[in-house]
Structure 1
């Protein structure tokens, strides 16, 4: 029993709306619809059926009177008076069909209207059975404004055409119509109000996503309900603090770059003027390594957030990156559709791919780069190598800044452990990510995913 309850709960959860708009609409519309259904049911059950039953009993009583009056005196003169009295006082049209018999079958209502006519037929049939001793037959569907009732009498059939409103309450459909109109109207109002509130949240989400990707911020101001405006105001304040922090860091990096590169330049000039020896060669190598490390630190801290997003052909960009790796001595193959496009920051993506490709080239002899569209949208770029790889449990550790997995892969002596960290930072700045996996070539596979 408990298992069935859990399965039912999961089934309901899977079919519930996933968006805030859908859930809010369901919260408002579902109770209204249930209330309308309940009110309609109570109306038909407690009022409409009662009124119909009483009307049917009254009509059955009039018909029983007419039948008994005819049986008391079946002469044409007496029947003419009976028919005229019934027409004037009861709005009943009575005709005597000599030698006729009751129909063998009853006309069924259309399937669409069967739930509506079934209570009427049951009520009228019950009333006629209580008041008449003779066989009878009736039809509530043949004529739009009348009910056809026939009673077997000696010598033929007494046919009575009664106005429909004498057999049952005819205004029930008006009530249902008004209830339906009210439900539709309330639903439309709910949609308008909910959509207005959800749009404010969507705008806040778009602004946060644009800021997170480092793109240009569209004009945004707090809008919507009090809670949404409060969240938007908090976001704007947070954005301002982050922008101030970025500006301060940029100014600091500019100063550091100037202060460190100036003495490095003097050292390089001094070493260039000194007579070449083994010691000076070592010193030049140290200065070059120091300059490379400074470049890596500054690149990691600076990021690529200021670059504009452009639509580029990914194959051309990948081949440009791989040309540099080939010139450095790597064996690289490229597989990508020439028409595959991507909305990216070109220089940032080049830097990320360069780090991935060069990292693969350092640790393997064969490097394969492929780009392909993703089934759920966007693209992914795969960089494979045939090197020693990284243990699966240390994939995330490889992305940590300044991390060096010496025992897993032979690290580049010039590296500072920022290549994968920079690449992931670029990918996430585009709204994507980078993950590691086992390569079909036997080494490491880096998968760079970009959104559509």
Structure 2
């Protein structure tokens, strides 16, 4: 069922604001229900219990004040009021004073803005109880004194002022319940954070080990940890890593054997041609042998891939300078702009071969080549520009396919077999990066190598 557009917008808004990490989402799953439950329990407590108790206390206090007012009305003599005041003090905890000639305050004193939500239910409850029990004008203040409630009732000749203990007007222990609920929430949240942190750490270590293995770095100290499912995934990763390493070792050994077996007859043929009479035909055969040897080198390099080389910290400047020197010997004008402090964790020989393919490809199609290395937001970028004919934008991805041969403008190197860019991208991705093509400011092709670091 397709959601309305407003619902889709709301869902996208929520997704953008929800945590993106497993730790954040797990914490939200645990803490949010606990917090909602605590809020609901607190609300029910105040709505069903605290307010009920406060109403009963307010009604009892209003009844005592009504008794005091009625008793004074029946006998308004000083002697009678003294007895009434003493009895109220001893039996009810009320402090009653008569203020002759006084009148009630014009308006009720408002509580501070920060305390208004707390005192509003108290004022309403006490106001309702007093209006039901007393038939004379009255005034009260619940905020002036920390431990008392000030209640004044208009009587004949003045005002009767009653100071009642605060716990006579409402339940004063509600904040303890809120405090305990808050402490319980904080304690549960802390336990949840510790528990989730331990579980997520095992997943992070597995992800780091997989990422390091993808870049060719070995992680011998990694051991499965965490929950049963995480340990199963980690064990499966270790088994997979072992199988891949055995496959690489077997392929390397096989390629070494194939390389030896192929070069042996090629060497015999080259020796036979060297001893033959120099003719036009033997010269053509020598060129064919050179081209065949170059093609075999290309095929073996593409099939060898990683070659089992270990990753290490390699400074970029000497590596790029060595690659560029080969392009200069081929006749290209190469300029290099690389900061000496740039260091990348990589397999030096594999990275050198990838950069050599890019720089030599640029040199074979253009007369001017620029190589720039810089640190970008996602890692290190190595940019190779040339002023050659370039490649149409719709053929950028096609150029990375093995054995791909593009149009004649980028197909002048008769020795090539269409593996240079494929090998370079394979090496870059093996290091956790990538290669993208674009239009060069020099007018030709721009190849950008992005590596983590």
> Which TM-score band applies after superposition, normalised by the shorter structure?
over 0.9
CA RMSD of superposed structures (Å): 1.8
5+ long unaligned stretches in structure 1: none
Moved more, 150-159 or 6-15: 150-159
Distance (whole Å) between structure 1 residues aligned to residue 43 and residue 412 of structure 2: 77
1:298 Cα shift?
Answer: 1.9
User: Could you tell me which of 194, 197, 204 is aligned with 1:195?
Assistant: 197
In the other structure, the counterpart of 1:227 is 229
Distance (whole Å) between structure 2 residues aligned to residue 69 and residue 305 of structure 1: 106
1:325 Cα shift?
Answer: 0.3
1:247 Cα shift?
Answer: 1.3
1:376-395 superposed matches below 5 A: 376-395=377-396
1:205 aligns with 2:207: yes
In the other structure, the counterpart of 2:359 is 357
In the other structure, the counterpart of 1:75 is 77
- Scaled by the length of structure 2, the TM-score of the pair is 0.95
Distance (whole Å) between structure 1 residues aligned to residue 109 and residue 352 of structure 2: 80
1:183 aligns with 2:185: yes
CA contact (8 A) 1:360 1:383 kept: yes
CA contact (8 A) 1:373 1:379 kept: yes
User: Could you tell me which of 39, 45, 48 is aligned with 2:47?
Assistant: 45
Paired residue secondary structure (1:109): coil
Distance (whole Å) between structure 1 residues aligned to residue 168 and residue 409 of structure 2: 94
In the other structure, the counterpart of 2:327 is 325
In the other structure, the counterpart of 1:84 is 86
1:266 Cα shift?
Answer: 2.4
Q: 1:71 to 1:408 in 2, by over 3 A?
A: farther
CA contact (8 A) 2:252 2:307 kept: no
1:305 Cα shift?
Answer: 5.4
5+ long unaligned stretches in structure 2: none
1:149 Cα shift?
Answer: 1.1
CA contact (8 A) 2:136 2:154 kept: yes
In the other structure, the counterpart of 2:263 is 261
In the other structure, the counterpart of 2:424 is 423
Q: Give the 4+ runs in structure 1 shifted more than 4 A.
A: none
Distance (whole Å) between structure 1 residues aligned to residue 409 and residue 132 of structure 2: 96
1:290 aligns with 2:292: yes
Q: 1:42 to 1:13 in 2, by over 3 A?
A: same
Aligned residues: 451
CA contact (8 A) 2:23 2:200 kept: yes
In the other structure, the counterpart of 1:5 is 7
1:412 aligns with 2:374: no
Paired residue secondary structure (1:360): helix
In the other structure, the counterpart of 1:142 is 144
1:20 Cα shift?
Answer: 0.8
CA contact (8 A) 1:305 1:429 kept: no
Distance (whole Å) between structure 2 residues aligned to residue 429 and residue 305 of structure 1: 11
Distance (whole Å) between structure 2 residues aligned to residue 67 and residue 218 of structure 1: 89
In the other structure, the counterpart of 1:115 is 117
In the other structure, the counterpart of 1:433 is 434
In the other structure, the counterpart of 2:21 is 19
Paired residue secondary structure (2:267): helix
Q: 1:167 to 1:449 in 2, by over 3 A?
A: same
In the other structure, the counterpart of 2:336 is 334
CA contact (8 A) 1:25 1:191 kept: yes
CA contact (8 A) 1:207 1:218 kept: no
CA contact (8 A) 2:149 2:164 kept: yes
1:204 Cα shift?
Answer: 1.1
In the other structure, the counterpart of 1:343 is 345
In the other structure, the counterpart of 2:106 is 104
1:35 Cα shift?
Answer: 1.0
Paired residue secondary structure (1:161): strand
1:444 Cα shift?
Answer: 1.6
Paired residue secondary structure (2:432): coil
CA contact (8 A) 1:210 1:217 kept: yes
1:394 Cα shift?
Answer: 1.9
